[in-house]
Amino acid sequence: MKRFAQLLELLALTPSRTRKLAALTQYFREIPDPDRGFALAVLTGALTFRNVKPALLKDIVLREVDPTLFAMSYDYVGDLGETIALIWPHHGQQSDLPSLTDLIELFNMTSKAELPKLIAALLTQAGINERWAVVKLATGALRIGVSARLAKTALADMSGKDLQEIEEVWHGLKVPYLDLFAWLDGKAERPHVDQSARFHPLMLSNPIDEEKDLGRFDPKDFSAEWKWDGIRVQLVLGDGTVSLFSRTGDDIANAFPDIVENAQGVAVLDGELLVGKDFEPGSFNDLQQRLNKKVASAKHLKDSPAFIRVYDILFDGREDVRTLEWTERRRRLEAWLKANPQTRLDISEVLPFADWDDLAAQRRQGADEHGHEGVMIKLRGSPYVPGRPKGYWFKWKRDPNVVDAVLMYAQRGHGKRSSFYSDYTFGVWKGNEIVPIGKAYFGFTDEELKLLDKWIRANTLQAFGPVREVKKELVFEVAFDSAQESTRHKSGVALRFPRISRIRWDKPASEAATLADMAVFVAAS
């Protein structure tokens, strides 16, 4: 347990991704089975205890600590787990705690009535850092800045295996992953998992390079569709089982019962999750509202029904069709939808086009009249390949909108950039004041970053912790995909994918955009 506690602490406090990866890799290499497998389960959130809950831990502490003092302490610390770890008043002979494996076994085997005694004994026996780790383990809320993806990347680094290969089998594996580690160590074959009933890593697109690509591509070899502004999902339909995965493989089925309850058939489908009535997509904001809820409310289900606009099929029934060409998969998809009538699925229509100029015109028109993000271009002969293979799928986004905005606040970055002001809030004129419309990170050369950092320090009006308010004098050219109404911002406008395209050292702030200028962009989306 000591070693695992050290790992958690290092992960929590190291801002550098590279260093986190190195620590994880080293841990998985040095620690034997099954401890490392249980650690992997904890880090990827695959482990929960039926009877060990935050409320139970709080009860245990309140038997030992005055409730008023506990409340004052919790108020100060702000994190329940950490408060418990810090406030625990008994410190016994600090001997080694059980191994991670034994500890998890103890949590699972101990009856509800006996758990408080067990946990109290562990807290007393532990040193401060292990106590923190035990509480984190028991409450399940790690908050240490490690994603499941990062943990899997460490497995790939450790073994020299491809991350994609690990992702392929991941969702069919069981804790503590003995077969996975045996394969990673080169001692066994890759674990066999039922290929149809689990998450399959998605095929992603590359941005098109108009000058280079369009000149050499024959339009006849490609098919086009609108690029939908929802979230990418994978719908896995088994016999009576339905899973809905996000692009990273998180199961989001609970938030979308309207889809889960109405889907039927057996297949693995790829598409875009959207909300809106009668298959008419609403704004991304509406979708965001539903995504923010772990469980959908009745009002959401009624006002913002969800549907999936499907555009590919990975398994037709139980048959893996990923190696077939896109044209054949498209035919299979259309046939499958015909054979399995759906109320919450429709198909992403194919856009006929004569040549690239024609498609460019449609793309522009779609952006102006319907707010489409752009078009997707897919090679007709392409198989379905996980990851971001070159030469198959392309996104051709509409030209970004740009606006000249004024820098308002600057904040320090993280990790390598923690000494630089590299995160910016900018705004536009509303009468005589500047109101914020968005926030973006710096995306330029180190040289420019240094200049900007210097300007911010020299023009600070006041500092609030890591944030500085600056003189409203520096103009940024900000590019963004679209603008939407927002009640969250004082300006009433929110930008999608804002990025700073240029620093306009030359431009006076008085010539920056106004809120009225923004209305045009909002109307277009």
Partner 1 sequence: MATQVLDRNLHIRAIDAYIDPSVPRERAIITHGHADHARSGHGSVLATPDTIAIMKVRYGEDCAGRFEALDFGVPLKIDDVTITFFPAGHVLGSAQVLVESQGQRVVVTGDYKRLPDRTSQPYELVKCDLLVTEATFGLPVFQHPHPKLEIARLLKSVADQPERSHLVGSYALGKAQRVIGLLRDAGWDAPIYLHGAMIRLCELYEELGVPLGDLRPATGTVKAEMAGQIVIAPPSAIRDRWSRRFPDPVVCQASGWMSVKQRARQALVELPLVISDHCDWSELQQTIHETEAKSVWVTHGREDALVYWCRTQGLQAEPLNIQSFEDDGGEGAEE
Least CB distance to partner 1 at residue 473 (A): 21
User: 376: which strand partners?
Assistant: 225, 395
Least separation in angstroms between CB 8 and partner 1:
10
Interface residue with partner 1 among 412, 430, 499, 502 (CB under 8 A) is 412
Rounded to a whole number of angstroms, the minimum distance from the CB of residue 154 to partner 1 is 19
Q: Is 13 in the site for partner 1 (CB under 8 A)?
A: yes
* Tokens representing residue 362 in the block: 């449609």
Site for partner 1 in 423-482 (CB under 8 A): 453, 465
Residue 519's Cβ-count burial label (10 Å; 0-12, 13-18, 19+) is middle
Site residues for partner 1, window 56-75 (CB under 8 A)? Answer: 65-66, 68-70, 72-73
Does the footprint of partner 1 cover residue 419 (CB under 8 A)? Answer: yes
Among the listed ranges 6-14, 44-52, 193-201, 339-347, the one in contact with partner 1 (CB under 8 A) is: 6-14
Contact between 414 and partner 1 per CB under 8 A: yes
DSSP string, 330-350: HHHHHHHHHHS--SSEEE---
Residues contacting residue 313 through CB under 8 Å, at least 6 positions apart: 267, 268, 269, 270, 321, 329, 332, 333, 336
# chain residues binding partner 1, by CB under 8 A? 31
**CA neighbor of 308 nearest in space, from 257, 340, 347:** 347
Output the six-digit token pair for 520: 């045009």
User: Near partner 1 by CB under 8 A, which window of 22-30, 172-180, 345-353, 412-420?
Assistant: 412-420
**Binding segment toward partner 1, per CB under 8 A, in 80-88, 159-167, 237-245, 516-524:** 80-88
Catalytic residue among 20, 227, 378, 472: 227
* Under rule CB under 8 A, residue 2 binds partner 1: no
- Asked if residue 132 binds partner 1 (CB under 8 A), the reply is yes
Sequence-ordered strand ranges (E) for 238-277: 242-246, 267-275
11 vs 144: CA distance, rounded Å? 6
The stretch among 9-17, 212-220, 240-248, 501-509 that binds partner 1 (CB under 8 A) is 9-17
302 is catalytic: no
CA distances, 294 to each of 256, 278, 282 (Å)? 9, 24, 20
φ, ψ of residue 445 in degrees (nearest 5): -75, 160
DSSP state, 68?
A: H
**Residue 159 binds partner 1 (CB under 8 A):** no
Rounded to the nearest 10 degrees, how much is the dihedral formed by the CA atoms of 303, 305, 311, 314? 150
Active site residues: 227
Q: Enumerate binding residues for partner 1 (CB under 8 A).
A: 9, 12-15, 65-66, 68-70, 72-73, 76-79, 82-83, 86-87, 89, 128, 132, 143, 145, 412, 414, 418-419, 453, 465
